[in-house]
Amino acid sequence: MAVLTESDLVEMTLEGAEAAFARGVTAEELTQAFLKRIAAYNPRYNAIITMNPAALDEARAIDRSRAAGEALGPLAGVPVVIKDTMDMAGLPTTAGWHFLSAKAGGVDLIPETDSPVVARMKAAGCVILGKTNVPILSATGTHASNSWAGPTLNAAAPDRMPGGSTAGTATAVAASMAVLGLAEETGGSIQNPASAQALVGIKPTFALVPNAGVVPLAGSTRDVVGPIARCVRDAALTLDVLAGYSAEDPKTVAGIGKRPKGGYAAKLSATALQGKRLGLYGSGWRNRALSAECAALYERAQNEIAARGATLLEDPFAGSNFAAISKPYSDTHYYDARGMECCPYDMELYLRRLGPSAAVKDYKALAEITKSEDPYGPAGVLAYMNYLPETAFSRQHPTVPPPLTAFLGAREAYLDIIEAVFARHRLDGLVFPQMRNELPLLNSHGVIHETTVSEINIAGVPVVTVPAGYYASGAPFNLVFVGKLWDEADLLALAYDYEQATNHRMAPALSA
């Protein structure tokens, strides 16, 4: 009988899970072990808010198929978590809001069908352990402190913000309560929590992965689903499962023919950085300085990358007018929300998809039951959206898509300059510190000061974040590799080379 120890679970990768299965560990045993770990640590860290009662049954079904010699999916028997906002038939989708949780005195939204990304994970054989915590409407990229389920702690630095909005997935993966997890980003919600907890995250090209059946903030313009994992290979293999056309999400037609031959792990190599040309962060990209400690960590990372044979170019966007495109709603937050004007329209589409048994069937009904905490009101989580003129139109006409004139202009401008700068300097990518300074304290009013969120989410280009060290405080420091549209495989190769050469990620010391 194969023995599975607690140490086997800590930092377990897909390769480790495959090795466990090869020596006779069953999917049921592995699932049970992770459930035991969740029972031990989740009460403190509050990463998972809805457990999947069928997890062990699903694991047993995988074991029966394996024993019968049947063909298995590429992630068969691997325990994973998904973000609360992703529909899973029969389980509530709460969006972190007490109005949408029966446990908190509201009504449960119970989807009748899986979202395409959840269906693809199930088809790949994953055992979904549960759904993870988010802030109200996923409206902040810093924390999940206002969730009906209570705040989520950062497993890597419990006194610091966990990153948002996919705080729960990041904490569950960082704390080894699952092998990997699904995240979703509109404005930093993959890269921020991944970086906050020394993890790998892929924010894919817009429209590569379907986001139908996922509670939207900007489903038509910015929202993307991607993996969070503890290593680059695992993230790449999970993207293979998620990416591709779905009839439920017609915009994914744009990705046909864009996926790499052999999959997203095909280019992973310990020599991928050799001979590559990478652009560095500077005021030409965004006129916001790095903190002194961030700059020192970034300089060390540059030396590590140069030692791998890459050429680094200072501020390739200087003189390009790139930084002038941004129109942030606040100088403090420096967040450009263009594209999010379509939220009411996208929410209307999302609610219709839930099915005829849904407790809330359209945007008008949602606005009615939540009117006491209007998210667009002065104290609401989306109050900042009122600086965009088309927000009012969309709220008044949620069944009609807004014109999105400002967003489309910004996207075209960003893409034009990115294309020109990459061509002029013969760049293979960009490599920046993901944040400009260390994480804010958990109980502060601070926000994550990132370097790429608004620009890459409006442009729709991909990024991969990878661990690159720690601040003196213990807060993680991550790099982000940025590329052109559909460049995921190349970015993953660069991140893999850096990861394998440096091995900066450390397993956090947890307390129950």
**Is there a catalytic annotation at residue 83?**
yes
Q: Kindly state the tokens that stand for 448.
A: 């994550």
Q: What is the DSSP letter of 266?
A: T
Point out the catalytic residue in the list 101, 147, 165, 326.
165
**Angle at alpha carbon of residue 339, lines to 460 and 344, rounded to 5°:** 130
Q: Which residue shows structure tokens 């503890």?
A: 230
CA–CA distance, 59 with 173 (Å, rounded to integer): 19
CA–CA distance, 86 with 103 (Å, rounded to integer): 18
CA–CA distance, 377 with 182 (Å, rounded to integer): 30
Q: Kindly state the tokens that stand for 266.
A: 């095909």
The distance of Cα 7 from the centroid of its chain, to the nearest Å, equals 27
Cβ atoms of 137 and 382 within 8 Å: the answer is yes
Cβ atoms of 117 and 85 within 8 Å: the answer is no
**Is there a catalytic annotation at residue 36?**
no
**Is there a catalytic annotation at residue 165?**
yes
Single-letter residue type at 494? L
Point out the catalytic residue in the list 83, 131, 203, 484.
83
CA–CA distance, 363 with 347 (Å, rounded to integer): 6
Cβ atoms of 169 and 152 within 8 Å: the answer is no
CA–CA distance, 401 with 365 (Å, rounded to integer): 18
Phi and psi at residue 128, to the nearest 5°: -85, 115
Point out the catalytic residue in the list 101, 138, 189, 195.
189
For residue 470, what is the enclosing H or E element? strand 463-470
> How many CB atoms lie under 10 A from the CB of residue 444?
12
CA–CA distance, 372 with 333 (Å, rounded to integer): 26
Residues acting as catalytic residues? 83, 165, 189
